[in-house]
Amino acid sequence: MKVLVLYDYPPSPAGLATQGHLLHRGLAELGVDVHSVHFESAQEKEWYYRWFEPDVVVGVGYWGHTTHLVLHPQRYGVQPVPWLVADGYMANYHEVLEALPLILVTSKWVKQVYTRDGLSGRNIEVLPVGCDTDAFIPRDPADPKVATVREALGVAPDQIMILTVGGDATSKGAQEVMQALATIDMKAPDWKYVCKVWPQPRTEHQNLIDLQLATQLGIEKNVVYTTNVISRNFMPYLIAACDIYAAPSRLEGFGMIQVEANACGKPVIGIKGMGLLDTMIHGETAYLAGIAQEVRLRETIVGDESGYEAGHRVVFKAPRTVDYRASVHDIAGYLLELMQNAERRKKMGQAGRERAVEHFDYRVVARRFVEIIQKRLGIS
């Protein structure tokens, strides 16, 4: 089997890049002949098509990337297999995708989104995102590489550190977490809430809104926002520095960092919906807060990210859920239990580690990929 992987290559620290990189790595370790190329590099992709002659071209991305991931390899007679995530909105290219023999998606919820938007689902298989469980491991808090992370963030050794990581913190449920922390502040042990976000146009404005909320809630001294670029090499130590990973996301197609937190032996607080229903087990590896609100739209404006021209107006036949809000009451209760009970944190973290290794290790995912390709496409 010869496989060409299209993604954000060379890999950046972002989620889609990690998804592609770990598939490549897992396939290579299985002995599969595999190469990778940037999904937008038309010239280099064509170069690989001509000399490498791959059996399949696996493209990591969204529906809006269909021209890069599907139409481009089809032009050269190569079989595309898109491995897609979803943002919960509307997407185009229904006929193109429906005609494919195989589409991979990252969770059952993503499949539901695509069938909701018009695909039959007959050609869709779920393939989870892999996790490097050799890098994301439980670590001793006294390890200098862990202790200095906390020190740099201003977290005292005896404080409970709650962590959220995302492109922005709001989409990962940070506002709901802050509201929950404000309600339990007087009952809980001393704590610090750290939000690690990525520098991008929307981040600065969104950070200000979040920090204003922290001030309004009277917890601003316990909330730390850090906005910078970090490598995947640093991520295991950042997660290891926390006591609880909290991301009751408003939209989550898989939950890669939640899985990585479990792999590090950390309990997770998430939302009882979307991709986390595949990755987390409520009460065992995580606490999943109930959905308090569904944000619905009757129409929206989309663009090339969904495969349309800029400013395209879509009117839905029925109101469309595009966002969720987790129950602040549930988050508060789960946070307080974990903050007060170190043994519960340890037990839940151990269960999370076992599940991450068994189901989401990148080598497990690579083997599953090979099985799906053999079954669906007859390629070995």
pLDDT of res. 25: 98
Give the 3-state secondary structure of residue 281. coil
244 belongs to a structural domain: yes
The contacts of residue 103 (CB under 8 Å, 6+ apart) are: 81, 82, 84, 97, 114, 119, 123, 124, 125
Structure token digits, residue 140: 């001793």
- Tally of domains within the chain: 2
Q: Which class for 21: exposed (0-12), middle (13-18), buried (19 or more C-beta within 10 A)?
A: buried
Query: Residue 139 domain-assigned?
Result: no
Task: Looking at the structure, tell me whether residues 240 and 272 fall in a common domain.
Answer: yes
Residues 115 and 15 in one domain: yes
Same domain, 107 and 153: no
Q: Are 174 and 164 in contact (CB under 8 A)?
A: yes
Are 340 and 370 part of one and the same domain? no
Q: What is the pLDDT along the chain (380 residues), one digit of tens a residue?
A: 999 999 999 988 888 999 999 999 999 999 999 999 999 999 999 999 999 999 999 999 988 889 999 999 999 999 999 999 986 565 678 899 999 999 999 999 999 988 988 899 999 999 999 999 999 999 999 999 999 999 999 999 999 999 999 989 999 999 999 999 999 999 999 999 999 998 888 788 888 999 999 999 999 999 999 999 899 999 999 999 999 999 999 999 999 999 999 999 999 999 999 999 999 999 999 999 999 999 999 998 888 767 778 898 988 888 888 899 999 999 999 999 999 999 999 999 999 999 999 999 999 999 999 999 999 999 99
Residues 162 and 124 occupy one common structural domain: no
If asked whether residues 347 and 275 sit together in one domain, one would say yes
- Same-domain check for residues 177 and 46: no
Co-location of 167 and 272 in the same domain: yes
CATH number for the domain spanning 366: value is 3.40.50.2000
State the pTM of this model.
0.95
Q: Could you list the residue range(s) of the whole structural domain that residue 254 is in?
A: 144-290+327-360
Same-domain pairing of 371 and 349 = no
Residue 308 falls inside a structural domain: no
